[in-house]
C-alpha cells in the first residue's frame, strides 16, 4: 500500500508518524526492547505527547530475528495466528553500548550468524548484518505508524501540484516497515504469483482470490519473500499484508498491515536453500507422500458428461494403450448439481458407487474425489448446519449466504470444533467406500465481514480460512487412512499450508502463454516453502490444440505431481490425437523410472523444506544468469527441465557450468552457455548433471 505522494509528500488525508530515533533500549529476558519516538528527544519537554513505537527483537530460531513493531499495546487480540515452531533452546546475545565521546550508542541483538544493529540516540538506523556484511537496513522514514483519515470515496485533490490516480489507504491505522534493496538485489516468492517472476517493481496484496492464473490475483498468497542477497522476510500476519517491492520507493521493500502492531521475521541463509530451510522450520514442512501420488492422475474434467461407463472407458483406454495410470479423480459432478457439497453420489449417474469404486480399485488405481467448503441451500446438509450454527454468520446472527458458486450457499465455519467434526463425519462414508485422496477445491472467496465461532477479526481470517479447511480434511484423512497415506489436491493456501500437500495451480487457459505463466506461479510458490506442486495438463479453460497438449504433457509429467484435468473437454490423450498417446506413455513411464529419485527429493522436502521443483537459483545461487530464469527449472538437485513453449519446437535455454548428459538421447554437453534447439514431441531439453 502506498502512503506517499512521491518520495517527499504523504498522500492527502494521511498522517505519517515515523520512528525518528532509538531513544532507549533495554533487555527483557531474551528480548531487546527499543523505544522509538517520532521526534528526537533532546530535553524533558520532548517526551511530552507524540507517537512512540515499541520495537521488540527476539529470536524463535537460530539465524532468525523476530521484529515486533507496536503502537498501542492495550488492544484486544482479535486475530488468528500462524503456528510458529520455536526452538526454546536458542539463546540470544544482547549488547547495549551507551553513547560516549561524541559517538552514538548501539544496541546489538544477535542470533547465530545474524545480528540487528540499532543506533541509539541518533537518527533511526537499523542494520541486519551477517558478520561485517550488511544484508538490509531500515532508516529514515521507514518504520512508521500511519493514520488515514480519508473517508470512503476520497479522491486526491485534482488541483494539488501532484495529483495521483492511486486512491491510497482506506481510513484506519497501519504499521508500515521498509527494508532496503541493494544494487542487483532481486525479490522472489510471495506465493503462487503468475506475473513477473522477479517481483521488483510490483505492488502485491496478500489476499486470496479466485482470479484464475492470468491476473495479479492469486489463490495462494504467502507473506514471505527472499532475495538473492542471502536473506528472506516472513511477515507474521494472517490478514491482508500489502507489499511495495521497489515500487513506492525504488530502493526499498515496504510492507504494511492494518492495526496497532506488525510482526515480521528476518531470516538469514545465506544460500536460498538455507533461507527456505529456516523459513519452513518456522512454518512447517510437508510429509513424504505415497508412491502412487507421483504417478499420473486422470480426471473426469469439470463440466463434461460422465457416468461409470465413461469412467471405465477412460481407465480401460489408458490400460489398453499401456499408459501407466495411478489415480482416477472424480470432479464436482460426482455429486448432483446445485447440491454441492453434500457428499452424496448422484444416484441418477452413479447408481452403484460402492461397486464402481471396487471395480476401479481392482484395476490397481487409487481414487480421488472433489469437495469444497461450501454448502448449497439445496444440499441435504444445509438445514442441519444452519440449525446447529456450523456456518459463517452475518452480524445479525443469520447465515452468511451467496449465489456466487452454488445457489444460496453457506460457508462452513472451521473455527468451530463441532462444525469440523460434523463436516468430516459427513465425509467419512465416502472414505469408507474406498476413496483415497481428496481434492479440496476453493476456499478463497471468504467474506471479510463474517462472524466466526472463535470471534476473530474476519479480515484477518480471510486468508487463514484455507489453512483451517485443508488442515481439517488432511488430518481426518490421516485418521481414516493412517499416517503417510493422506493426500489432498488443494487450490487455496496461506503460510503453513505446505504441511497439507498437494497444491495445484488453478484455472489456467489452454495456451502456451498460460503454460508459461503456470510455471512462473509454480516457481514462486515453491520458493515460498511449498515442497510439492502440480497443474492442469493442457490447461483448464478451453481445449488444447495437439502441439500445446503434447508440450504440456512433457511439462506436467516432469512436475512433482501430474494430473490430466480440464473444464469442458476431456483430457484423455487419444481425444487430442494419436501422437499424444505416445507422448503421454513415454513420459509417464519416464516419470515412474524416476520414482526412487523423486522419493529422495520428497524426503529432502520433508526434512529440510527444499522443494522438488526448484528455481534455477536454488541449485546455482552463484551463477548470475540463473537469477533471472523463469522458463526452466531443476527437478530435484540433478535434472534440468526446459519446457517447450512453442508449436514449432524451438526452445532457448541456459545450461549452467558443468558436464551434462541428455536423459533421452544420451548426448553430452559442457555447460556455461545458452542453447537454442528444436525438439520433436518425443523429447525436450532434459539434462542430468554429473
Q: Is 428 left (phi over 0), alpha (psi -120 to 50) or beta?
A: alpha
Report the alpha-carbon distance of residue 545 to residue 540 in Å, rounded: 13
**What DSSP assignment string belongs to 588-602?**
HHHHHHTHHHHHHHH
Asked whether 486 and 501 are in contact (CB, 8 A), the reply is: no
Residue 441 among the catalytic residues: yes
Any alpha helices (H) in 411-568, and if so which ranges? 417-433, 458-481, 512-526, 546-556
Cell of 232: 528472506
Residue 582 among the catalytic residues: no
Place of cell 490475483: 217
Residue 444 among the catalytic residues: yes
**CA 426 remoteness from chain centre:** 29
Cell of 506: 488453478
Place of cell 520495537: 55
Give me the catalytic one of 185, 413, 436, 507.
507
Give me the catalytic one of 441, 459, 517, 541.
441
Cell of 121: 540516540
In this structure, is the dihedral angle defined by the CA atoms of residues 594, 599, 604 and 605, taken in order, positive or negative?
positive
Neighbours of 432 (CB within 10 A): 10
Any alpha helices (H) in 83-181, and if so which ranges? none
Q: Judging by DSSP bridges, how do beta strands 536-537 and 114-120 pair with one another?
A: unpaired
Which is nearest to 533 in space by CA: 596, 614, 604, 463? 614
Q: Does residue 4 sit in helix, strand or coil?
A: strand
φ and ψ of 472, to 5 deg: -60, -50
Neighbours of 373 (CB within 10 A): 26
Q: Does residue 108 sit in helix, strand or coil?
A: strand
Asked whether 192 and 217 are in contact (CB, 8 A), the reply is: no
Integer angstrom CA distances of residue 448 from 222, 392, 408, 464: 18, 11, 18, 11
Asked whether 423 and 341 are in contact (CB, 8 A), the reply is: no
Cβ within 8 Å of residue 420, ≥6 positions away = 414, 472
Indicate which residues carry an active-site annotation.
441, 444, 507
Amino acid at each position: 500500500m502506498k502512503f506517499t505522494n512521491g518520495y517527499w509528500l504523504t498522500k492527502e488525508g494521511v498522517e505519517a508518524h515515523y520512528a525518528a530515533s532509538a531513544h532507549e533500549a533495554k533487555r527483557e529476558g531474551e528480548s531487546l526492547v527499543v523505544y522509538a519516538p517520532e521526534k528526537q528527544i533532546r530535553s524533558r519537554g520532548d517526551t511530552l505527547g507524540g507517537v512512540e513505537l515499541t520495537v521488540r527483537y527476539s529470536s524463535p530460531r537460530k539465524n532468525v530475528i523476530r521484529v515486533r513493531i507496536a503502537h498501542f499495546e492495550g488492544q484486544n487480540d482479535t486475530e488468528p495466528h500462524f503456528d510458529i515452531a520455536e526452538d526454546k533452546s536458542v539463546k540470544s546475545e544482547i549488547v547495549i553500548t551507551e553513547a560516549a565521546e561524541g559517538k552514538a550508542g548501539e544496541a546489538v541483538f544477535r542470533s547465530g550468524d545474524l545480528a540487528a544493529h540499532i543506533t541509539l540516540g541518533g537518527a533511526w538506523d537499523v542494520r541486519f548484518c551477517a558478520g561485517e556484511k550488511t544484508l538490509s537496513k531500515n532508516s529514515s522514514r521507514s518504520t512508521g505508524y500511519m493514520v488515514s483519515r480519508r473517508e470512503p470515496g476520497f479522491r486526491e485533490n485534482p488541483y494539488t501540484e501532484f495529483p495521483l490516480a492511486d486512491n491510497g489507504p482506506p481510513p484506519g491505522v497501519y504499521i508500515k516497515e521498509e527494508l532496503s534493496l541493494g544494487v542487483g538485489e532481486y525479490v522472489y516468492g510471495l506465493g503462487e504469483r503468475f506475473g513477473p517472476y522477479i517481483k521488483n517493481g510490483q505492488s502485491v496484496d496478500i489476499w486470496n482470490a479466485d482470479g484464475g492464473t492470468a491476473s495479479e490475483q492469486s489463490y495462494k498468497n504467502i507473506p514471505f519473500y527472499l532475495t538473492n542477497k542471502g536473506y528472506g522476510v516472513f511477515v507474521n500476519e494472517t490478514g491482508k499484508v500489502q507489499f511495495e517491492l521497489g515500487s513506492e520507493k525504488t530502493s526499498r521493500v515496504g510492507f504494511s498491515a492494518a492495526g496497532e502492531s506488525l510482526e515480521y521475521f528476518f531470516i538469514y541463509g545465506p544460500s536460498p536453500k538455507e533461507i527456505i530451510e529456516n523459513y519452513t522450520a518456522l512454518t512447517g514442512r510437508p510429509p513424504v507422500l505415497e508412491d502412487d501420488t507421483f504417478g499420473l492422475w486422470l480426471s473426469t474434467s469439470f463440466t463434461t458428461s460422465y457416468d461409470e461407463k465413461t469412467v471405465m472407458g477412460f481407465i480401460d483406454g489408458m490400460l489398453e494403450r499401456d499408459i501407466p495410470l495411478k489415480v482416477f479423480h472424480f470432479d464436482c459432478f460426482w455429486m448432483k448439481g446445485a447440491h454441492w457439497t453434500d457428499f452424496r453420489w448422484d444416484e441418477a449417474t452413479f447408481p452403484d458407487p460402492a461397486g464402481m469404486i471396487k471395480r476401479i480399485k481392482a484395476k490397481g488405481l487409487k481414487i480421488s474425489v472433489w469437495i469444497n467448503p461450501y454448502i448449497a441451500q439445496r444440499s441435504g446438509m444445509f438445514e442441519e448446519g444452519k440449525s446447529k450454527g456450523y456456518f459463517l454468520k452475518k452480524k445479525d446472527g443469520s447465515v452468511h449466504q451467496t449465489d456466487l458458486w452454488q445457489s444460496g450457499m453457506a460457508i462452513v465455519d472451521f473455527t468451530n470444533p463441532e462444525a469440523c467434526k460434523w463436516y468430516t463425519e459427513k465425509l467419512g462414508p465416502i472414505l469408507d467406500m474406498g476413496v483415497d485422496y481428496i481434492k479440496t477445491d476453493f476456499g478463497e472467496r471468504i467474506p471479510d465481514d463474517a462472524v466466526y465461532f472463535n470471534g476473530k477479526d474476519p479480515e484477518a481470517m480471510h486468508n487463514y480460512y484455507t489453512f483451517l479447511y485443508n488442515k481439517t480434511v488432511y488430518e481426518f484423512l490421516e485418521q481414516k487412512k493412517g499416517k503417510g497415506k493422506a493426500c489432498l489436491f488443494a487450490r487455496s493456501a496461506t503460510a503453513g499450508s505446505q504441511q497439507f500437500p498437494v497444491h495445484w495451480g488453478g484455472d489456467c487457459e489452454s495456451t502456451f502463454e498460460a503454460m508459461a505463466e503456470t510455471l512462473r506461479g509454480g516457481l514462486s510458490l515453491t520458493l515460498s516453502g511449498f515442497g510439492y506442486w502440480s497443474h492442469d495438463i493442457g490447461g483448464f479453460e478451453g481445449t488444447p490444440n495437439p502441439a500445446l497438449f503434447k508440450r504440456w504433457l512433457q511439462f506436467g509429467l516432469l512436475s512433482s505431481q501430474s494430473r490430466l484435468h480440464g473444464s469442458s473437454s476431456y483430457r484423455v490423450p487419444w481425444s487430442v490425437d494419436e501422437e499424444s498417446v505416445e507422448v503421454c506413455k513415454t513420459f509417464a513411464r519416464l516419470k515412474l523410472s524416476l520414482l526412487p529419485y523423486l522419493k529422495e527429493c520428497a524426503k529432502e522436502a520433508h526434512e529440510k523444506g527444499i522443494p522438488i521443483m526448484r528455481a534455477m537459483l536454488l541449485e546455482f545461487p552463484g551463477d548470475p544468469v540463473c537469477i533471472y530464469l523463469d522458463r526452466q527449472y531443476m527437478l530435484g538437485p540433478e535434472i534440468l527441465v526446459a519446457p517447450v513453449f512453442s508449436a514449432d519446437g524451438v526452445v532457448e535455454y541456459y545450461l549452467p557450468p558443468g558436464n551434462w548428459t541428455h536423459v533421452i538421447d544420451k548426448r553430452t554437453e559442457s555447460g556455461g552457455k545458452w542453447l537454442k534447439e528444436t525438439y520433436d514431441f518425443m523429447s525436450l531439453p532434459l539434462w542430468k548433471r554429473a
